[in-house]
A and B are shown apart, each in its own frame.
Chain A
């Protein structure tokens, strides 16, 4: 048995619903955004969370940080349940848990200078620091994300998207967090700038020993940054494994389909590739299919998939998969391979 890395965070039986009003007198509908979410995050790893729009990936990030209160379940931070923490205690905890958002300009206050934005978390979380100390920390953090000291008195609108995202990263780093949730941090950026920010995050992670949760719809980006990858479909975990396992040996039919749909920037490979195209679109989370929620788009689905909800099973090497037929599908796929 290998020595397991220490768990920083454990999510147990997490559930989150939203109620959707539809008309003045009608009873609100319940949308289940997340259900049966169980996994752990190891100290120092990057966990990628992927899935299509509406799968619950951003909601999961927000539930972990207690920016949204889960309906049920526990979020254990070094064994302590954050969902039950009194507000004052949670505020202190926030030093350790930070977030970076997708749209860097929209998430920065346009009326504050860069220096004020980056120092802001310190004002609430480290009130004991005086002005000089705060400024020193701001300058040091700015340097670590590649911002020049003379930018400290400028306003966000004077910056490009990539520079603004550096400001967002500096604001997250200033409290010296242990975990950062990166919610689509490069999706709004141009390709060349996206690569710069991805490299910056990787460098910071190594230097500071950070643990990252990296949420994105872009599987190539997630593959690039992540140690392990969690695949969500309609609010449920369908698969969790290391990046290599997911890409080289996916077990869930949804993961397989998702991977073959990812555009490859290589014309010869792209032409050779057989796209396992999924039919149809994601069903509404207000009225999800019975049993396995993926069955309506799965070409391997059988009657049993409509009747039973697949449990999240732990298979070899601590991988997780939620499919009733994954072993049978494995055999079928191998039989279909040309010899």
Chain B
């Protein structure tokens, strides 16, 4: 499969009034055509900021360095005018709360048609016709009626479908979805994940799914990247990370997640709190919470290195990881 995105040494820094915060550090990964990559982490892990920077959507005090190469263009540091040629056309992003991404004063069809008029030189009538077809394709009943509605007249699930329809109008190579189902009810979430699966197959779109929910990841992702304290700490195939995690944080996340089919008396959570990005611990960021940390972990930061076929980890510990009674 061909590569649609290659990210190299990407870092994201925010300037505060008397200091700076490194939200993402030295990120490296590639994304293949049609694959689904899940980016997993807790709040403050840098998972959203990394992809906002690729989209050129960082807050004013944020800056990104490194490269994010799509085709033959580097998106990092590109001027907004030039980015607009690609955003929405080759790479699109959807967010957790669709209401904040939709214009409340415009009908759904107007917002959808605008994408086609801007990026693909459609005339307005043809754009509306194609938009309605896309609404139908993402499973919106009575698409003509919904196309004439305003966003507030639709339910949360419908709005998210509208956002997905909008993001797919130009058949982008890459779709970034930041917690797209977190605000939705579980039955609607299942419909959405199903839709994502179909759409990546039909359009060959590569999907980046940013989420904190390992349940969502298991059902949809080909590969995953686990982030902690602004860095990728483990990457690899979904099955490998679930059944044979090599980083203690990945293991801890798995043991913290309640499983509907396996009831245990107690969960086996990671102790302590996620670190503040302003005061990251010395050495490995995870060492204060890690059950396997030894001297070297307090002194040195483990780099992300190859750890078997198609997988990487940033951890010095090489022994077996038994975790409480649940193993």
Query: Which A residues contact B (CB, under 8 angstroms)?
Result: 52-53, 160, 162-163, 190-196, 198-199, 202, 217-221, 223-224, 243, 247, 257-271, 275, 277-278, 280-282
Contact = CB atoms under 8 A, between A and B. Distances in A.
Given A199-B267, A223-B263, A247-B261, A281 B188 contact: yes
Given A264-B260, A267-B239, A277-B194, 11 more contacts: A191-B42, A195-B270, A224-B258, A224-B263, A247-B261, A261-B187, A267-B242, A270-B219, A275-B190, A275-B194, A277-B190
Nearest to B242: A267
Interface in B184-233: 185-191, 193-194, 212-219
Interface stretch (B21-29, B116-124, B249-257, B306-314): B249-257
B269 A196 contact: yes
A191 B257 contact: yes
B34 interface: no
Contacts of B214: 191, 265
Contacts of A269: 218, 261
Nearest to B273: A160
B62 interface: no
B151 interface: no
A243 B190 CA distance: 22
Contact of A190 (B43, B239, B268): B43
Contacts of A218: 258
A274 to B, nearest CB: 11
B305 interface: no
B157 interface: yes
Contact of B155 (A163, A192, A243, A281): A281
Contacts of B258: 195, 198, 218, 220-221, 223-224
A192 B43 CA distance: 11
Interface in B1-58: 42-43
B245 to A, nearest CB: 12
Given A202-B266, A223-B263, A258-B186, A191 B256 contact: yes
Interface in B51-97: none
Given A262-B215, A267-B218, A267-B242, A280 B141 contact: yes
Contact of A270 (B212, B218, B270): B218
Contact of A259 (B141, B259, B260): B260
Contacts of A264: 215, 218-219, 259-261
A260 B191 CA distance: 11
Contacts of A267: 218-219, 238-239, 242-243
Contacts of A202: 265-266
B274 interface: yes
By Cβ-Cβ distance, the 8 closest A-B pairs, closest first, are: A263-B215, A195-B269, A261-B190, A195-B256, A52-B185, A190-B42, A270-B219, A195-B267
Contacts of B253: 191-192
Contact of A265 (B158, B194, B259, B270): B259
A218 B238 CA distance: 23
B67 to A, nearest CB: 31
A52 B186 contact: yes
11 contacts: A163-B273, A190-B43, A190-B212, A191-B213, A192-B274, A220-B215, A263-B218, A263-B219, A268-B239, A275-B194, A281-B157
Nearest to A276: B190
A104 B46 CA distance: 23
Contacts of B261: 247, 264, 266, 269
Contacts of B268: 195
- B interface, how many residues as a size bin? 35 or more
Contacts of A281: 155, 157-158, 188
Interface of B: 42-43, 141, 155, 157-158, 185-191, 193-194, 212-219, 238-239, 242-243, 252-261, 263-271, 273-274
Given A223-B263, A224-B263, A270-B219, A52 B187 contact: yes
A264 B262 CA distance: 10
Given A263-B189, A277-B190, A192 B256 contact: yes
B185 A219 contact: no
Given A265-B215, A265-B254, A267-B238, A223 B187 contact: no
Contact of B191 (A190, A258, A277): A277
Contacts of B273: 160, 162-163, 193
A199 B187 CA distance: 27
A105 B219 CA distance: 33
A286 B63 CA distance: 49
Contacts of B274: 190, 192-193
A181 B274 CA distance: 28
Given A194-B256, A217-B185, A243 B263 contact: yes
A277 B187 CA distance: 7
Contacts of A277: 187, 190-191, 194
B218 A265 contact: yes
A252 to B, nearest CB: 14
A75 B188 CA distance: 33
A8 B31 CA distance: 56
A228 to B, nearest CB: 14
B138 to A, nearest CB: 14
Contacts of B269: 192-196, 199
B260 A282 contact: no
Contacts of A270: 215, 218-219
A227 to B, nearest CB: 11
Contacts of A162: 273
B186 A219 contact: yes
Contacts of A261: 186-187, 189-190
A58 to B, nearest CB: 14
